[in-house]
């Protein structure tokens, strides 16, 4: 099922990007897992991107289904108690995500918690949606899980396109063939925000944005996959785009992990995985998740 490959690929990408978040492009050069930097965290520290993804993995693996209230319970435990973090404390959280979790804590039902305005199209849903690619799901499932924190149409569409491409890669479809197939999907042909995806491989680095806007991040992840041939090069290309380095690399790394797997010449470097905080726990979450859906 490639669950662990995708999830650890996301976590490693996140950890690579954490020290460089908010730095402008070409003012630094990431070449390996390092520490400190923006948040003064030790090497191998992952952020909210991985925490919310792992909270989702834990919920689905624990319940054997998509239980929106259970997922939100885990998000609340993360924000309030530091659950699903590397060291027991939260050091990064997006504004829309924080507001949505606060609404849930105050009794709002899960599907009404996510922000619905155009300004609520940050990366907080896209960065955690990957687990749905590994289980049977409907389009509505993707929209609902996005809606927990980000309910605008752009966010929900970006999450749907990401899970579509992840599914193609899980099936073994070659990267460029999978990305090209996006060009025929209705959101890409009919929504102005997603039209560049149809020719993402034709764009050069200067045309790729790496802000906290969900569409920029989706484009950046697809572009990094297109222009590289190994996990290491793919996620380092993502980090070195600058700005929202941890999320862009996490979203990219999830897909690259599915494609290239762990170890070997093109896979996630073993020395990088070995530096990841709580790596054995992450493995156990993925194993439990996979056990529920592999029969």
Query: Per DSSP, which regions of 185-239 are E strands?
Result: none
**Which domains does the chain show, CATH number per domain?**
3-293 (1.10.4080.10)
Cα→Cα distances 246→15, 105, 127, 168, Å: 7, 27, 10, 24
Q: What pTM did the predictor assign?
A: 0.98
80 class by beta-carbon count within 10 Å (0-12 exposed, 13-18 middle, 19+ buried): exposed
CB of 37 closer than 8 Å to CB of 54: no
The residues facing 143 across adjacent strands are none
CB of 98 closer than 8 Å to CB of 79: yes
**What distance in Å separates the CA atoms of residue 29 and residue 23, rounded to the nearest whole number?**
10
Half-sphere exposure of 294 (CA within 13 A, CB side): 10
- Contacts of residue 271, Cβ cutoff 8 Å, sequence gap at least 6: none
Look at residue 1 in the predicted model and tell me its pLDDT: 61
CA dihedral 100, 106, 111, 113 (to 10 degrees): -20
CB of 253 closer than 8 Å to CB of 17: no
What is the mean pLDDT of each successive set of 10 residues along the chain, which is 295 residues long? 93 98 97 96 97 98 97 98 97 95 98 96 97 97 98 97 98 97 94 96 98 96 98 98 98 98 97 98 97 82
**What distance in Å separates the CA atoms of residue 204 and residue 200, rounded to the nearest whole number?**
9
**What distance in Å separates the CA atoms of residue 59 and residue 62, rounded to the nearest whole number?**
5
Distance of alpha carbon 32 from the chain centroid: 20
Look at residue 294 in the predicted model and tell me its pLDDT: 78
Give the count of beta carbons closer than 10 Å to the beta carbon of residue 132: 24
CB of 155 closer than 8 Å to CB of 185: no
Phi-psi region of 268 (alpha: psi -120 to 50; beta: other; left: phi over 0): beta
**What distance in Å separates the CA atoms of residue 68 and residue 132, rounded to the nearest whole number?**
12
Cα→Cα distances 90→41, 77, 107, 232, 240, Å: 11, 11, 22, 27, 24
């Amino acid at each position: 099922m490639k669950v662990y490959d995708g999830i650890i690929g996301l976590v490693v990408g996140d950890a690579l990007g954490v020290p460089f978040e908010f730095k402008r492009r070409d003012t630094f050069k990431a070449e390996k897992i390092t520490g400190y930097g923006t948040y003064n965290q030790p090497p191998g520290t992952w952020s909210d991107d991985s925490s919310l993804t792992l909270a989702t993995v834990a919920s689905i693996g624990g319940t054997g289904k998509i239980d929106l209230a259970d997922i939100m319970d885990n998000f609340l435990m993360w924000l309030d108690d530091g659950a699903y973090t590397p060291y027991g404390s939260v050091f990064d959280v997006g504004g829309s995500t924080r507001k949505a979790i606060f609404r849930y804590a105050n009794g709002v039902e899960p599907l009404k918690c996510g922000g619905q305005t155009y300004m609520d199209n940050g990366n907080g849903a896209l960065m955690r949606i990957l687990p749905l690619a590994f289980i049977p799901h409907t389009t509505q499932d993707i929209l609902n899980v996005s809606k927990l924190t980000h309910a605008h149409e752009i966010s929900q569409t970006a999450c749907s396109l990401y899970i579509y491409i992840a599914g193609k890669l899980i099936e073994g479809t070659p990267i460029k063939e999978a990305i090209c197939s996006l060009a025929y999907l209705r959101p890409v042909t009919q929504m102005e925000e997603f039209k560049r995806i149809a020719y993402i491989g034709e764009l050069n680095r200067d045309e790729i944005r790496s802000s906290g806007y969900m569409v920029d991040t989706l484009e950046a992840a697809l572009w990094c996959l297109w222009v590289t041939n190994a996990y290491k090069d793919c996620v380092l290309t993502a980090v070195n785009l600058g700005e929202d380095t941890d999320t862009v690399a996490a979203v990219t790394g999830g897909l690259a992990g599915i494609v290239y797997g762990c170890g070997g010449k093109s896979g996630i470097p073993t020395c990088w995985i070995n530096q990841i905080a709580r790596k054995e726990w992450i493995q156990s979450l993925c194993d439990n998740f996979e056990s529920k859906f592999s029969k």
